[in-house]
Amino acid sequence: TGQFEESEKAFKEYLKKYPKGPHAVEAAVYIADGYRFTEKLKKATKQYHVVLDKYTLTADWETDILCSPVRCALAEDDWPTAMPLLRQIYDIAPDEWRATWAATLLTIAYFKELEVDKVYPLVPYLMRPASFASRSVAFNMAALEAADELFAEETYRDALWIYRLIF
């Protein structure tokens, strides 16, 4: 409804009254979400990390919560901050959908850094029929830019491999 200040206050009151209550994790995440939705990205990231550090989470919950600071970092085009979180998501993702999402974004980051050797292990996720890589403009642009740069540097094997990956 857009009443983020009021909801933040209510969730903070809930956490003060029931710090170990049955919905404490959700309340803490909703506070962070409110910051993210109002573009207070640094506050949101800090709050997400509070949740990750304070609560015992299932792999499912941890994966979902880790996705949010990644979104905050990428909103600011901060790939170096996003990369270790994406790696963590990729490693713990309880399902193929989230692992593929992380693999695609990690590959974009590796292409931006011309770290082609780190892409090879991710290829099985990138080549799956419903992979995010297959329909991501950002993935294809990062791949083309990396391949073009490698080709200009006369690193033909890697350049051609990347071209082949996307065509």
Q: Are 27 and 11 in contact (CB under 8 A)?
A: yes
Nearest to 67 by CA among 40, 106, 39: 106
Mean pLDDT (the chain, rounded): 93
Over 70: is that where the pLDDT of 143 sits? Answer: yes
pLDDT digits (tens, 9 = 90+) for 148-161: 999 999 999 999 99
| CA–CA dist 94, 92 (Å, integer) | 6
Q: Are 25 and 9 in contact (CB under 8 A)?
A: no
| CA–CA dist 118, 106 (Å, integer) | 9
* Phi, psi (deg, nearest 5) at residue 138: -60, -40
Per-residue confidence band for 69, with pLDDT thresholds at 50, 70 and 90: very high
Give the gyration radius of the chain's Cα atoms. 19
Over 80: is that where the pLDDT of 41 sits? Answer: yes
Give me the pLDDT at residue 134, please: 84
| Average pLDDT of span 122-140 | 89
H-type alpha helices, the chain: 4-17, 24-37, 41-54, 59-75, 79-92, 96-112, 123-126, 137-152, 156-166
| Average pLDDT of span 1-15 | 90
